[in-house]
Amino acid sequence: MKVAIAQLNYHIGNFESNIAKVISAINEAKEQSADLIVFAELSICGYPPRDFLEFNDFIDACEEGIEQIAGECTGIAAVIGAPSRNTSVKGKALFNSAYFLADGAVQSIHHKWLLPTYDIFDEYRYFEPGSACQIIEYKKTKIALTVCEDLWNVGDSPIYSSAPMDAMVEKSPDLIINISASPFSHNHREDRVDAFKENAQRYNLPIIFVNHVGAQTELIFDGGSFVMNSSGELIKELNYFNEDQVYIHTDDLNAKRIVQNGAGKLERMHDALILGIKDYFGKSGLTTAILGLSGGIDSAVTLALATRALGKEQVRAVLLPSRYSSGHSVDDAKSLVEHLGCYSKIINIEDITMSVEATLAPHFKGKKPDITEENIQARTRGLLLMALANKFGYVLLNTSNKSEAAVGYGTLYGDMAGGLSVLGDVYKTDVYALAHFINRDEEIIPLNTITKPPSAELRPDQKDSDSLPEYDVLDQILEQYIEKRLGPNEIIEAGYDPELVARILKLVNANEFKRYQTAPTLRVSSKAFGMGRRMPIVGKYLS
């Protein structure tokens, strides 16, 4: 049996586009004489549909789409993901299902057993877990059909009490097919391959894994669908960050050829962020980005990524110097714009900030200048950037990094403004590493931008290190707390200074209110701020 693996970029709720892509892939597979084509989890509606699932019209559209696609499945069969209604009087209204289509009709529906409810996943909010053990028998091949999490009950401490494959293997399948919506993080490929390797070896069965590719607001899906033999070796791996369609014959499922993707962490993050920007704009019907370019590393990396994602003609860089902006910062920003070829302009904010300060002076009488005046500068920049965005229909890109967002080193309604946070899940040390990666073939980001001490330039001779620990130390502690979820005592036991740990963790918790008000953040780590990290604003822990 010849199997087509269709790795596509879906758009949540865009049924016309999703169905057209699926039918196009089916027609291509027919031309290649494929017997079966496999699509990803919830392909019909896109993932994650979230509360769209609570609308009957939305589910009706899913069912109509399945019927339309089933009609195309003559001379070929298909496996595709979509929600299905629970006709029982008990349980949630829906299942997360895999449909088997053949001979122009729905032949069977297989429900996802294990429903993830952690990090960015909230499937038990919407779906009833499946329990029936079904095997597809097609073209003399017995297929165990699973959906994403059904193969993730692995490791020394599995989080579910049972695994569907333990029941399915008793029916002697020849092959496991897993349709997934497995989001990107910079270390997730290895975790994914290891999890499926454990399944292949445990059940002594080859696996076809089909993933989404593309971004859905914060979530980025990297693709990387693959075929794995029963020994847990990759014998075919699809493209990352691009749509792809490949073919494999079931006679070749236990080939010994090992394929490995050689991309490292920085290349993956770079490609993921570009895809995240591109799809955020494309799927939202937006065209042009604007950002404030300071001459610093964060805005420089953001501008370089945005230009690669959208094209230089669709990016606007605005330099907004104040009395504290150094000459070299302005020069560095100009140099970057010349390298990238994008549009830029300079708007000096000095007159505006002086006017605001003069207006407030009678009301601040007797008060010494402090962070208030610094924030006026940042908010003036935010005001001007948002005005330009409103007037011309641009989207403001936020340039804050994860280190700053974690400890609250940013101004609400100022430099934290924006419609999309590009680097909000990238620690400062990784921002520097990304800058070097962008410059790997030629100097695009000026060397001085990378080597000079980071500064917000809101007061004379200001440096980030005046307020924060050095980033190489800060980022290590933040990663222990945020990604690894270690408490203060555990971090101190790892060798970090107790006073420094207490100070940093207090800053993280005290600034949760700021993160609640920021733009959606492109997720590239295993624990990003936003939908995957839910902390109370008013809480006593470490405060």
CATH code assigned at 401 = 3.40.50.620
State the distance between the two ends of the chain, measured CA to CA, in whole angstroms: 61
Note whether 130 and 210 are same-domain residues: yes
How many CB atoms lie under 10 A from the CB of residue 460?
7
Q: Which residue has the tokens 């609308």?
A: 55
Note whether 324 and 182 are same-domain residues: no
pLDDT of residue 327: 58
Note whether 312 and 406 are same-domain residues: yes
Domain range for 439: 268-340+388-515
CA distance 173 to 176: 7
Confidence of residue 256 (pLDDT cuts 50, 70, 90): confident
> Over the stretch 453-492, which tens digit does the pLDDT of each residue have?
777 666 676 677 777 889 999 999 999 999 999 999 999 9
Contacts of 525 (CB under 8 A, 6+ apart): 185, 186, 402, 425, 483
Does any domain span residue 379? no
Does any domain span residue 376? no
How many CB atoms lie under 10 A from the CB of residue 463?
13
CA distance 276 to 309: 8
CA distance 509 to 516: 12
Note whether 172 and 303 are same-domain residues: no
pLDDT of residue 462: 67
The CA–CA distances, whole Å, from 239 to 32, 70, 119, 242, 259 equal 19, 27, 26, 6, 12
Mean pLDDT over each residue of the chain, to the nearest integer:
94
**pLDDT (average), residues 519-540:** 92
CATH number of the domain encompassing residue 182: 3.60.110.10
Note whether 273 and 248 are same-domain residues: no
Note whether 218 and 305 are same-domain residues: no
- Of 258, 280, 308, the one marking the end of a domain is 258
pLDDT of residue 456: 64
Confidence check: pLDDT of 326 > 80: no
Does any domain span residue 530? no
Note whether 327 and 189 are same-domain residues: no
Note whether 247 and 178 are same-domain residues: yes
Confidence of residue 328 (pLDDT cuts 50, 70, 90): confident
Confidence check: pLDDT of 319 > 70: yes
pLDDT of residue 459: 65
Does any domain span residue 135? yes
Note whether 111 and 171 are same-domain residues: yes
β-pair partners for 100:
79, 108
Residue with the larger pLDDT of the pair 301 and 134:
301
As for how many domains the chain has, the answer is: 2
Confidence of residue 393 (pLDDT cuts 50, 70, 90): very high
- The H-assigned helical ranges of 439-470 are 447-451
Q: Which residues are catalytic?
A: 41, 112, 148
**pLDDT (average), residues 30-48:** 98
**pLDDT (average), residues 163-191:** 95
Q: Which residue has the tokens 């909010």?
A: 125
Does any domain span residue 532? no
Does any domain span residue 542? no
Note whether 180 and 311 are same-domain residues: no
**pLDDT (average), residues 375-385:** 96
Note whether 173 and 233 are same-domain residues: yes
CA-closest candidate to residue 392, choices 287, 306, 470: 287
pLDDT of residue 263: 81
pLDDT of residue 520: 96
Note whether 29 and 104 are same-domain residues: yes
Does any domain span residue 412? yes
pLDDT of residue 174: 97
**pLDDT (average), residues 271-289:** 98
pLDDT of residue 132: 86
Does any domain span residue 394? yes
CA distance 45 to 279: 16
Report whether 80 contacts 117 (CB < 8 A): no
Confidence check: pLDDT of 543 > 60: no
**H helix count then E strand count, the chain:** 16, 19
The amino acid present at 252, given as its one-letter code, is D
> Over the stretch 70-116, which tens digit does the pLDDT of each residue have?
999 999 999 999 999 999 878 999 999 999 999 999 999 999 999 99
